[in-house]
Amino acid sequence: MFLAYHTRHGRALIDRELYLPQSWTTDRDRCRRAHVPDEVEFATKPEQAQSMLERAVQAKVPFAWFTGDEAYGQHRKLREWCEEHDIAYVLATRKDHEVPSGLNTTTRVDELIGKVRAGAWRRMSCGDGAHGPRVYDWVSVPIRAEFAQGRRGWVLARRSISTGELAYYVCFGARGTRLRTLVATAGARWAVEESFQTAKNEVGMDQYQVRRYDAWYAHITLAMAAAAFLTLIRATEAATSKPPARRTKTA
């Protein structure tokens, strides 16, 4: 489990958790042989994500939005924790996810989006990928639910231009948040994959063979720190380097 930090200047992995299934955490002898501390208990991946978010908040890491795939968007307790701590989010979810649509009523997100008029969709990029801008059709619909003053919820939908395939997100943020902001946040989730690629290619994050819990943390933490250092150096150089002087040809 990893938490990535994404800005316009660069991206890097900033926290990690090793997921242990219950078959491990209920076998304390097995855990001790692998040097897993006795206080480590079973935690789901959304619970681990919340723990990493809590550490980021405690460390005063500045960030505007949190995003993740549908494993986290489906987890109600994680969404509620974010709302309680005023953490804006765009989280992927399944098409059968139900959201409030009226007094004591809920509607599936795919049915809610299915009622949107054709002209409401907007074509825009959610960020650059390996082959250039990632362009899709997008639309958002407000969620009829009670949030803290000044906060709103939305269902965001993404439609493939070539196949028409749909993807869905549940969102929470400040009133007046623009569609473009939700779209950019949804696209920022790819920072995790890009960070993995950098850490594996540049600092050998995946080049290890360990049998102990503490050894895994030692290698992964060192690799993450090295990759973050390289990202910082790259961003600093980009900000301070001067563009090459233009050459003028004369006849």
Which domains are delineated in the chain?
2-238 (3.90.350)
Per-residue confidence (pLDDT) for residue 248, from 0 to 100: 54
Per-residue confidence (pLDDT) for residue 241, from 0 to 100: 72
Angle at 156 between CA 91 and CA 168, to 5 degrees: 65
User: Which amino acid type is present at position 170?
Assistant: V
User: Which residues of the chain are modeled with pLDDT < 70?
Assistant: 130, 242-251
Per-residue confidence (pLDDT) for residue 249, from 0 to 100: 54
CA dist 174 and 230 (Å) reads 34
Residues with Cβ within 8 Å of residue 173, at least 6 apart in sequence:
65, 88, 89, 151, 152, 154, 181, 182
Residue 139, SS3?
strand
Reported as a single tens digit per residue, the pLDDT across 154-178 is 999 999 999 999 999 999 999 999 9
Reported as a single tens digit per residue, the pLDDT across 196-211 is 998 999 999 999 999 9
